Every structure is written in structure tokens, then in C-alpha cells.
Structure 1
């Protein structure tokens, strides 16, 4: 599920480049989350009555992290290649994986990954886009918080119920930045249709898969598995955007991947959260919805 989510996220990011050219990164991110909200609410009604006071901080934090991560990353790929942006953004979850590790020597791996990022950006050429790198680093911080709060919300709200609550929060928080770009940009029905298709990929399907994966994995294991995402970013940048990396950049990406793998090797959670009285399931209007034996989020 995690690998499929990573692939889909990079496909949607590559497809978003043409939309960014029309309505800007913030406008693209905002419309993606608006359509994501519509799709999620069509699939599962938000479990509003089941929200407790202690759930609100986690829901708001995840919504803010999702909105910030999406907007800042799209702003980054508007300026720097997709593979480079993904590798820089990956510093966020990699740092979480290293900190969460029981071995203090794991803290060396974010430093190694940073060396890989230097190879990716090639600052000695003097043409590095510092603003684009800054956006990617800010997205890395949001990604780190996104992983932490995705697991907390996923443990509390099973299935896509949590997404149906947090994506609208992300859309609301990014509206002051996205709406002006949509209004003043080169908006068209073709752009609207493309954004709707991208939103179905991300956040609906890909973020849903991530949430389900994090119900079964530790932060460290998930952060480690994410080490292959920069490679997906390079592949999609090459196939869909014709962005060819240099030899040094390929080496830099390999260094980032090795650092991610080495940061933490274990990672199945000691206790898989099940659908108990403290866990809210999605309100999906499906008659005859009997659960198969041995299936669902409470089975290993």
C-alpha cells in the first residue's frame, strides 16, 4: 500500500506541473483538496458526531500539515526538478525515522542524506534556485508532521473517515493562498477537469493508502520505506516531464535512498489498532456490508 501510494503521489505531482503553469502552485493545491473533499464525502460521510474534544488538535494538525505539504511542494516543483524536490522533501520523514530509532547512531543518516541533496542541487554551478530549495525544505517539515499525525488520526478513525475530516481542513486553510491564484490565473474547464482527475489520485487514493499503511507500521519503518520515493520522483520526472538528471544527481539520489534504508530496518507495530469502541469507522452507505472473516484493518 505504501509503495503504491508513493507511485501515485509522484504521478499526480508530475501531472500537476501543467496546472501550476495555469493557476499557480497554491491554486493547484487548493483545487486538488477541494475536489478531494468532494470525492471523499461522496464515498464516506464525515463522522462529525463521533469527534471528541481530544481529537480536534490531531485533526487540525493533520489538515494543516497536508495543506502546507501540498502547497509548498508544488511551489518547489514549479522551480526545481521533481526528483530533486522529492529528495529534499524526504529529509523530513527520514529525520523522523532517525529520531524514532532506538540507536542514536541512526542520526548520522539524515546527515548522509543531506550530502546526497548537495549532489542533487549542485550548488557549485551557481544556478541553484534557493527559493525552490527553501520551498522543498519547508515541505519536508510539513511531511514529517504529516506522517506523525496521519498515524494518530488513522488509529482513531479507520478507513478513509479520517481523510474525509482532514482534507477539508487543509482546503480551508489554503484557501486564502489558493483562491486568489485561481481567480487571477489562466483558468479553464480543461484545467478544472485535469485537477479533478489529479485529486482522485492524490489525495483520495494515495493518502488513503498511506493512512492504511501507517495503521500497520511504525514511523521508523514507514520513513524507511519512503526512501525509495525520490527514485519514483526521478522516474516520473523523466517519463512525464522529460527532466533528465546528471550523473552526480543520480548518485545524490542513490545516497538519499541508502540513507533512508539504513536509518531504520525494523518496523512492524507492536499492536495493530483495531476497530474498537474508541475507533470511528467511515459512514459508507452500503447495504449488506458484512465484513469478511480475517479481513479489514483489525486483522494481520
Structure 2
């Protein structure tokens, strides 16, 4: 989700509620599930290759700079497209918006701090533990704990010598992002119940941008205004946020939510591919096995959750 909402398995039901329900055969029109699968995979590729592009920008603008640039551009795009209503909301609604914005800004900051220190595939594998643990807990089924054990086995294999081979600080940041991803999912459900369409996400993204911009400007300074860096940062925002969100919404018109969730469980594998192709981050055979175990555990957990 990479730290890129709303690509999370357990949030599928929330995302599906924001899509107009399909009626009869029309649900499978215009390509049906085959096209829906392609759309999901396209969104995943955009999301993880956007994260890889962001990692390549970290030496130029720093973690706080890229977070500020990404959230600000994403907020501008979402506000322009959604045009959310600002007036008329209750204080409780704004409290959820602010909490959602804080979660977005914090999750992105921790994730980018992680990929500055450990390979992208490992970071996403660790981060996806947040949604995985949440789906296991909410499922309340004994079989779910078997999937959790499988995921833990995969995490234990990460790196040639296990987690000890990875930067400890980077691992900590990735696990912190995982916890915030779980918080994001819970807040996403509340946002979906209080605001129509993507209005809540647009407002929360604006809050996240406001929170991250001062620190980003202090960290990167005038480098954020460099035309090349700004253009690449804008591309990161589109690839990591706007494009995946749009593709996921289209996919949910053609796929059953459970199928969509299983496909989204491929995120660690796609991230590993992006890290290899864009950042030249090689993975040992045992690392690939670890990622495969976590992907299998995520897919099994969301298939068996019944939620």
C-alpha cells in the first residue's frame, strides 16, 4: 500500500460501498472479470513502480520532501476531481477527517523512511502485516491464525540471514507503517460511512498535505521547486495515488470483492519486482520464498475472512 491508500484487502467492502452497485449482467459488461483482473494488476504496477520512483528521488529531496510533494499533488488532484463539500459537516466528521489525514501523513512518512533503508520488496512485505493482522483478528476464525503463522514464517525468512540482515531502523519504520495502515483501514470505514464517494479521502489528503508541507519545505527547501524534481514528484503522486485509486474503483465494478482482495495481496511481489527493475535491488532465493509465504498468507486470510 504500499503506503498508498486505498489498496488494502480488508477495506474492500468499504471501497465497494462507494461504487454504484451493478445490476444483473451489467456487472460483467465491458470486459468482465478478465478486464477487472487486468485493471487491478495495472493499478498495483503503477502503485509499486511509483514507490520505486519515489525511492530514487529520496537522495535529492529527502523523505519529508517527497512525502510533502506526493501528498500535496495528490490532494490537489483529488480536490479538483471530487470537489468535496466543505460546509455543513459536524464536528465529529471533521475529527475523523483530521485523524485520517494524520494517519495518511504519518504512514507515508514511515514508509518512505523504511524504503530509504531496506529494499522495497521487504518494506512492503513488512507493511502488509498491518492489514493481514487486522483481517485475522476481525475474522475470528481458528483457521485465520494458521495464515498468521504462515505470514510470520515468511517474515522470519526475510533477508539472507533473516531480519538481522536488514537495517533495524528500516524494519522498525516498516512495522510502524504497518500499524498505521491498519489504523488507516479502520478510519477508512468510518470515512466511507460519513462522506459520499471519495469526498472524505480528498479532504483527509488535504489535511495530510497541510501537515507534511512545512516539514517537507524545511527538509528539501527550494529543491522541491526544481522543474525536474517537481515533475517526477507529480508523477509519483499520480502513479501511487490517483491512478491506482481510479483503477481500483473501476475494477470493483467488474470483480467480486473477495477476488479483488486476493489480487491486492500480490503487492509485496509486485514491489519486489519494481525494486529489482527500477532500483536494482536484488533478492536472494530465501527472500523470494519469504515474500511468497506472506502473499499466500494474505490471500488465504482475505479469502477465509468472509468479510
Q: TM-score band, normalised by the shorter chain?
A: 0.7 to 0.9
**Structure 2, unpaired ranges of 5+:** 1-38
Q: Which moved more, 1:195-204 or 1:22-31?
A: 195-204
Give the number of aligned pairs.
Answer: 268
**Structure 1, unpaired ranges of 5+:** 270-300
CA gap 1:255/1:157 in 2 versus in 1, 3 angstroms: same
Instruction: Pick one of 199, 209, 212 that aligns with 1:161.
Output: 199
TM-score, length of structure 1 as denominator length: 0.79
CA gap 1:222/1:68 in 2 versus in 1, 3 angstroms: farther
Deviations 1:40-83 (A, max 9, x none): 22223231124223322321222122111111111111111110
Deviations 1:108-157 (A, max 9, x none): 32332122122123445954200111111011011111122223323432
TM-score, length of structure 2 as denominator length: 0.77
Q: Which moved more, 1:247-256 or 1:220-229?
A: 220-229
User: Could you say which residue in structure 1 is the equivalent of 2:153?
Assistant: 115
Instruction: Pick one of 127, 133, 141 that aligns with 1:89.
Output: 127
Supply the distance in 1 between the matched residues of 2:249 and 2:175 (Cα, whole angstroms): 23
CA gap 1:120/1:184 in 2 versus in 1, 3 angstroms: farther
Supply the distance in 1 between the matched residues of 2:73 and 2:145 (Cα, whole angstroms): 39
Deviations 1:209-238 (A, max 9, x none): 5578799987x8876553211011011112
Supply the distance in 2 between the matched residues of 1:214 and 1:145 (Cα, whole angstroms): 23
Greater helix fraction, Structure 1 or Structure 2 = 2
Between 1 and 2, higher relative CO (CA 8 Å, sep ≥ 6) is seen in 2
User: Could you say which residue in structure 1 is the equivalent of 2:269?
Assistant: 231
Deviations 1:72-99 (A, max 9, x none): 1111111111101000001000001101
CA gap 1:129/1:169 in 2 versus in 1, 3 angstroms: same
